[in-house]
Amino acid sequence: MPKVLDGAAIAAEIKREVAEEVKRLAARGMRPGLAAVLVGHVPASEIYVRSKVQTCGELGLYSDLITPPDTVTTEEMLRLIAELNARDDIDGILVQLPLPKQVDSKVLLDAVAPEKDVDGFHPVNAGRLQAGRPALAPCTPAGVIEILKRSGTPISGANAVVVGRSDIVGKPAAMLLLHENATVTICHSKTRDLGAVTRGADILVAAIGRPGFITPEMVKPGATVIDVGINRIDKREEFDRFFKGNAKREAAFAKRGSVIVGDVHPAAFEISSAYTPVPGGVGLLTIAMLMANTVRAAKMRRGL
Protein backbone atom coordinates (compact mmCIF):
# COMPACT_ATOMS: atom_id res chain seq x y z
CA MET A 1 0.00 0.00 0.00
CA PRO A 2 1.39 3.43 -0.92
CA LYS A 3 1.94 5.92 1.86
CA VAL A 4 -0.42 8.91 1.97
CA LEU A 5 1.52 12.13 2.58
CA ASP A 6 -0.78 14.00 4.96
CA GLY A 7 -0.79 17.70 4.09
CA ALA A 8 -2.86 18.57 7.16
CA ALA A 9 -0.35 17.05 9.60
CA ILE A 10 2.64 18.67 7.88
CA ALA A 11 0.90 22.07 7.72
CA ALA A 12 0.09 21.84 11.44
CA GLU A 13 3.73 21.08 12.22
CA ILE A 14 4.92 24.10 10.22
CA LYS A 15 2.35 26.35 11.93
CA ARG A 16 3.57 25.22 15.34
CA GLU A 17 7.12 26.10 14.35
CA VAL A 18 5.98 29.52 13.07
CA ALA A 19 4.11 30.24 16.31
CA GLU A 20 7.24 29.39 18.32
CA GLU A 21 9.39 31.67 16.15
CA VAL A 22 6.84 34.49 16.51
CA LYS A 23 7.11 34.15 20.30
CA ARG A 24 10.90 34.36 20.10
CA LEU A 25 10.69 37.49 17.96
CA ALA A 26 8.10 39.01 20.31
CA ALA A 27 10.57 38.59 23.17
CA ARG A 28 12.89 40.85 21.17
CA GLY A 29 10.16 43.43 20.57
CA MET A 30 9.27 42.33 17.03
CA ARG A 31 5.96 41.14 15.65
CA PRO A 32 5.82 40.04 12.00
CA GLY A 33 2.99 41.72 10.09
CA LEU A 34 1.04 40.74 6.97
CA ALA A 35 -1.12 43.06 4.87
CA ALA A 36 -3.78 41.27 2.83
CA VAL A 37 -5.33 43.26 -0.01
CA LEU A 38 -8.73 41.94 -1.13
CA VAL A 39 -10.40 43.87 -3.94
CA GLY A 40 -14.17 43.67 -4.41
CA HIS A 41 -16.38 40.73 -3.52
CA VAL A 42 -15.26 37.40 -4.98
CA PRO A 43 -16.69 34.77 -2.57
CA ALA A 44 -13.86 32.25 -3.01
CA SER A 45 -11.21 34.95 -2.54
CA GLU A 46 -13.00 36.32 0.53
CA ILE A 47 -13.03 32.89 2.18
CA TYR A 48 -9.37 32.30 1.33
CA VAL A 49 -8.13 35.69 2.53
CA ARG A 50 -10.12 35.60 5.75
CA SER A 51 -8.64 32.18 6.43
CA LYS A 52 -5.17 33.70 6.06
CA VAL A 53 -6.03 36.56 8.40
CA GLN A 54 -7.48 34.12 10.93
CA THR A 55 -4.32 32.00 10.79
CA CYS A 56 -2.21 35.12 11.45
CA GLY A 57 -4.18 35.67 14.64
CA GLU A 58 -3.83 32.05 15.71
CA LEU A 59 -0.04 32.12 15.27
CA GLY A 60 0.52 35.55 16.80
CA LEU A 61 1.26 37.53 13.64
CA TYR A 62 -0.17 41.01 13.10
CA SER A 63 -2.50 41.30 10.09
CA ASP A 64 -4.16 44.17 8.28
CA LEU A 65 -7.02 43.33 5.88
CA ILE A 66 -7.48 46.07 3.28
CA THR A 67 -10.56 45.92 1.05
CA PRO A 68 -10.60 48.43 -1.83
CA PRO A 69 -13.83 48.55 -3.90
CA ASP A 70 -14.01 46.66 -7.20
CA THR A 71 -14.03 50.06 -8.99
CA VAL A 72 -10.45 50.75 -7.86
CA THR A 73 -7.97 51.81 -10.54
CA THR A 74 -4.40 50.69 -11.15
CA GLU A 75 -3.15 54.11 -10.03
CA GLU A 76 -5.08 53.91 -6.75
CA MET A 77 -3.77 50.41 -6.11
CA LEU A 78 -0.20 51.52 -6.84
CA ARG A 79 -0.56 54.27 -4.24
CA LEU A 80 -1.83 51.70 -1.73
CA ILE A 81 1.10 49.37 -2.42
CA ALA A 82 3.55 52.28 -2.03
CA GLU A 83 2.03 53.03 1.39
CA LEU A 84 2.35 49.38 2.45
CA ASN A 85 5.93 49.23 1.18
CA ALA A 86 6.74 52.18 3.48
CA ARG A 87 5.05 50.80 6.60
CA ASP A 88 7.53 49.34 9.07
CA ASP A 89 4.84 47.25 10.81
CA ILE A 90 4.17 45.35 7.56
CA ASP A 91 6.67 42.65 6.61
CA GLY A 92 4.59 40.88 3.98
CA ILE A 93 2.16 42.13 1.33
CA LEU A 94 -0.37 39.75 -0.17
CA VAL A 95 -2.45 40.93 -3.14
CA GLN A 96 -5.22 38.39 -3.65
CA LEU A 97 -5.84 37.43 -7.28
CA PRO A 98 -7.82 37.71 -9.48
CA LEU A 99 -8.07 41.49 -9.64
CA PRO A 100 -10.76 43.43 -11.57
CA LYS A 101 -10.15 43.76 -15.31
CA GLN A 102 -9.28 47.46 -15.11
CA VAL A 103 -6.36 46.78 -12.76
CA ASP A 104 -3.02 45.81 -14.34
CA SER A 105 -2.08 42.82 -12.17
CA LYS A 106 1.47 42.51 -13.51
CA VAL A 107 2.33 46.15 -12.88
CA LEU A 108 0.81 45.93 -9.42
CA LEU A 109 2.63 42.76 -8.35
CA ASP A 110 5.92 44.19 -9.64
CA ALA A 111 5.33 47.28 -7.45
CA VAL A 112 5.43 45.21 -4.25
CA ALA A 113 8.81 45.63 -2.55
CA PRO A 114 10.75 42.36 -3.13
CA GLU A 115 11.58 42.11 0.58
CA LYS A 116 7.83 42.11 1.35
CA ASP A 117 6.80 39.84 -1.54
CA VAL A 118 5.65 36.88 0.58
CA ASP A 119 3.99 35.26 -2.45
CA GLY A 120 7.42 35.04 -4.08
CA PHE A 121 6.12 36.36 -7.43
CA HIS A 122 8.42 39.38 -7.90
CA PRO A 123 11.05 39.03 -10.65
CA VAL A 124 13.76 39.94 -8.12
CA ASN A 125 12.79 37.01 -5.91
CA ALA A 126 12.57 34.74 -8.96
CA GLY A 127 16.10 35.78 -9.89
CA ARG A 128 17.41 35.28 -6.38
CA LEU A 129 15.80 31.84 -6.24
CA GLN A 130 17.47 30.85 -9.50
CA ALA A 131 20.82 32.14 -8.26
CA GLY A 132 20.52 30.17 -5.03
CA ARG A 133 20.54 33.35 -2.94
CA PRO A 134 18.25 34.06 0.05
CA ALA A 135 14.79 34.67 -1.38
CA LEU A 136 11.09 34.42 -0.66
CA ALA A 137 9.98 31.37 -2.64
CA PRO A 138 6.39 30.91 -3.87
CA CYS A 139 4.33 29.21 -1.18
CA THR A 140 3.07 26.17 -3.09
CA PRO A 141 6.47 25.00 -4.45
CA ALA A 142 8.01 25.65 -1.02
CA GLY A 143 5.25 23.45 0.41
CA VAL A 144 6.16 20.68 -2.03
CA ILE A 145 9.74 20.66 -0.71
CA GLU A 146 8.52 20.62 2.90
CA ILE A 147 6.30 17.61 2.19
CA LEU A 148 9.19 15.70 0.65
CA LYS A 149 11.65 16.56 3.42
CA ARG A 150 9.28 15.97 6.32
CA SER A 151 8.09 12.66 4.90
CA GLY A 152 11.67 11.42 4.63
CA THR A 153 11.66 11.24 0.84
CA PRO A 154 15.25 11.29 -0.49
CA ILE A 155 15.70 14.26 -2.85
CA SER A 156 19.45 14.44 -3.34
CA GLY A 157 20.42 12.39 -6.38
CA ALA A 158 16.81 11.56 -7.24
CA ASN A 159 15.40 11.94 -10.74
CA ALA A 160 12.66 14.56 -10.36
CA VAL A 161 10.21 15.38 -13.14
CA VAL A 162 7.99 18.46 -12.92
CA VAL A 163 5.02 18.47 -15.30
CA GLY A 164 4.04 22.11 -15.72
CA ARG A 165 6.10 25.25 -16.38
CA SER A 166 4.14 28.07 -14.73
CA ASP A 167 6.00 30.90 -13.01
CA ILE A 168 3.96 30.26 -9.86
CA VAL A 169 4.49 26.50 -9.41
CA GLY A 170 6.33 24.57 -12.13
CA LYS A 171 9.48 26.66 -12.62
CA PRO A 172 10.11 27.49 -8.94
CA ALA A 173 9.39 23.88 -7.91
CA ALA A 174 12.02 22.71 -10.39
CA MET A 175 14.52 25.27 -9.09
CA LEU A 176 13.93 24.30 -5.45
CA LEU A 177 14.38 20.61 -6.30
CA LEU A 178 17.59 21.46 -8.14
CA HIS A 179 18.88 23.30 -5.06
CA GLU A 180 18.21 20.09 -3.09
CA ASN A 181 20.52 18.25 -5.53
CA ALA A 182 17.83 16.43 -7.51
CA THR A 183 18.34 15.85 -11.23
CA VAL A 184 15.42 17.82 -12.63
CA THR A 185 13.45 17.64 -15.88
CA ILE A 186 10.68 20.13 -16.67
CA CYS A 187 7.91 18.87 -18.93
CA HIS A 188 4.75 20.43 -20.33
CA SER A 189 1.90 19.79 -22.75
CA LYS A 190 4.22 20.05 -25.77
CA THR A 191 6.78 17.53 -24.47
CA ARG A 192 7.25 14.67 -26.94
CA ASP A 193 6.51 11.21 -25.52
CA LEU A 194 5.74 12.69 -22.12
CA GLY A 195 5.06 9.29 -20.58
CA ALA A 196 8.57 8.09 -21.37
CA VAL A 197 9.96 11.02 -19.40
CA THR A 198 7.61 10.77 -16.42
CA ARG A 199 8.25 7.01 -16.12
CA GLY A 200 11.86 7.84 -15.27
CA ALA A 201 10.88 9.96 -12.26
CA ASP A 202 11.67 8.97 -8.70
CA ILE A 203 9.79 12.13 -7.72
CA LEU A 204 6.94 13.20 -10.00
CA VAL A 205 5.39 16.64 -9.46
CA ALA A 206 2.16 17.22 -11.39
CA ALA A 207 1.30 20.90 -11.80
CA ILE A 208 -0.19 21.22 -15.25
CA GLY A 209 -3.75 22.21 -14.33
CA ARG A 210 -5.55 19.39 -16.15
CA PRO A 211 -7.76 16.92 -14.29
CA GLY A 212 -6.31 13.41 -14.17
CA PHE A 213 -3.67 14.26 -16.76
CA ILE A 214 -1.08 11.88 -15.26
CA THR A 215 -2.35 8.35 -15.91
CA PRO A 216 -1.11 5.07 -14.36
CA GLU A 217 1.06 4.15 -17.33
CA MET A 218 2.95 7.45 -16.90
CA VAL A 219 4.14 6.63 -13.37
CA LYS A 220 7.20 4.61 -12.43
CA PRO A 221 6.33 1.88 -9.88
CA GLY A 222 7.49 3.05 -6.46
CA ALA A 223 7.75 6.73 -7.37
CA THR A 224 6.74 9.51 -5.00
CA VAL A 225 3.90 11.44 -6.63
CA ILE A 226 3.18 15.05 -5.62
CA ASP A 227 -0.14 16.24 -7.03
CA VAL A 228 -0.40 20.05 -7.02
CA GLY A 229 -3.56 20.19 -9.14
CA ILE A 230 -6.97 21.27 -7.87
CA ASN A 231 -9.66 20.78 -10.52
CA ARG A 232 -13.40 20.86 -9.93
CA ILE A 233 -15.42 18.38 -11.99
CA ASP A 234 -19.20 18.58 -12.23
CA LYS A 235 -20.03 16.38 -15.22
CA ARG A 236 -21.12 12.80 -14.64
CA GLU A 237 -18.98 11.34 -17.41
CA GLU A 238 -15.89 13.03 -15.96
CA PHE A 239 -16.76 11.84 -12.48
CA ASP A 240 -17.12 8.23 -13.70
CA ARG A 241 -13.75 8.46 -15.43
CA PHE A 242 -12.03 9.09 -12.10
CA PHE A 243 -14.25 7.84 -9.29
CA LYS A 244 -16.73 5.28 -10.57
CA GLY A 245 -17.46 2.84 -7.76
CA ASN A 246 -15.99 5.10 -5.05
CA ALA A 247 -18.83 5.29 -2.51
CA LYS A 248 -17.37 8.22 -0.56
CA ARG A 249 -16.87 10.33 -3.66
CA GLU A 250 -20.30 9.28 -4.99
CA ALA A 251 -21.91 10.64 -1.84
CA ALA A 252 -19.99 13.92 -2.12
CA PHE A 253 -20.91 14.29 -5.80
CA ALA A 254 -24.58 13.62 -5.09
CA LYS A 255 -24.59 16.19 -2.28
CA ARG A 256 -22.62 19.02 -3.90
CA GLY A 257 -22.89 18.31 -7.61
CA SER A 258 -19.12 18.42 -7.96
CA VAL A 259 -15.89 16.97 -6.54
CA ILE A 260 -12.22 17.89 -6.63
CA VAL A 261 -9.61 15.91 -8.54
CA GLY A 262 -5.92 16.63 -8.96
CA ASP A 263 -3.71 16.50 -12.03
CA VAL A 264 -3.06 12.81 -11.33
CA HIS A 265 -5.61 10.11 -12.11
CA PRO A 266 -6.48 8.45 -8.76
CA ALA A 267 -5.58 5.02 -10.17
CA ALA A 268 -2.00 6.22 -10.68
CA PHE A 269 -1.51 6.66 -6.95
CA GLU A 270 -1.74 2.91 -6.46
CA ILE A 271 1.49 2.45 -8.42
CA SER A 272 3.42 4.92 -6.27
CA SER A 273 5.25 4.35 -3.00
CA ALA A 274 3.87 7.62 -1.60
CA TYR A 275 1.55 10.37 -2.81
CA THR A 276 -0.23 13.56 -1.83
CA PRO A 277 -4.03 13.23 -1.97
CA VAL A 278 -6.38 15.83 -3.45
CA PRO A 279 -7.85 17.31 -1.39
CA GLY A 280 -5.73 16.96 1.74
CA GLY A 281 -2.27 17.32 0.27
CA VAL A 282 -0.22 20.21 -1.11
CA GLY A 283 -3.07 22.74 -0.99
CA LEU A 284 -3.19 22.66 2.79
CA LEU A 285 0.42 23.84 3.02
CA THR A 286 -0.07 27.08 1.09
CA ILE A 287 -1.28 29.15 4.05
CA ALA A 288 1.29 27.57 6.38
CA MET A 289 4.08 28.51 3.99
CA LEU A 290 2.65 32.04 3.66
CA MET A 291 2.96 32.42 7.43
CA ALA A 292 6.50 31.01 7.32
CA ASN A 293 7.40 33.43 4.52
CA THR A 294 6.04 36.38 6.52
CA VAL A 295 8.24 35.47 9.49
CA ARG A 296 11.19 34.92 7.14
CA ALA A 297 10.58 38.34 5.54
CA ALA A 298 10.48 39.99 8.96
CA LYS A 299 13.82 38.44 9.92
CA MET A 300 15.48 39.19 6.57
CA ARG A 301 14.37 42.83 6.69
CA ARG A 302 16.03 43.17 10.09
CA GLY A 303 19.20 41.34 9.15
CA LEU A 304 18.47 38.32 11.35
Q: What is the pLDDT of residue 6?
A: 96
Average pLDDT over residues 192-209: 97
Query: Does 119 qualify as catalytic in the annotation?
Result: yes
As annotated, the residues of the chain forming the CATH 3.40.50.10860 domain(s) are: 28-116
The pLDDT of residue 42 is above 90: no
Q: Which CATH superfamily is domain 28-116 in?
A: Leucine Dehydrogenase, chain A, domain 1 (3.40.50.10860)
User: pLDDT for 208-218, tens place per residue?
Assistant: 999 999 999 99
At 96, is the pLDDT very low, low, confident or very high (cuts 50, 70, 90)?
very high
User: Given 15, 52, 116, 220, which residue is catalytic?
Assistant: 52
Q: What is the pLDDT of residue 93?
A: 98
Per-residue CA distances from 26 to 35, 96, 136, 299 (Å) = 18, 27, 22, 12
User: Given 15, 91, 117, 119, which residue is catalytic?
Assistant: 119
Count other C-beta atoms under 10 Å from residue 179's C-beta.
Answer: 15
Which residues are paired to 206 by β-bridges?
163, 227
Query: Does 52 qualify as catalytic in the annotation?
Result: yes
Query: Does 102 qualify as catalytic in the annotation?
Result: no
Q: Are 52 and 290 in contact, with CB atoms under 8 Å apart?
A: yes
Cα separation, 8 vs 6, in Å, equals 5
**Axis crossing angle, helix 139-150 with helix 285-301, rounded to the nearest 10:** 100
Cα separation, 288 vs 7, in Å, equals 10
User: pLDDT for 281-294, tens place per residue?
Assistant: 999 999 999 999 99
Domain 140-285 grouped into CATH 2.70.170.10: no
As annotated, the residues of the chain forming the CATH 3.40.50.720 domain(s) are: 140-285
User: Given 15, 96, 202, 227, which residue is catalytic?
Assistant: 96
Element (H, E) at 162: strand 159-163
Q: What is the pLDDT of residue 41?
A: 86
Cα separation, 93 vs 33, in Å, equals 9
Q: What is the pLDDT of residue 238?
A: 93
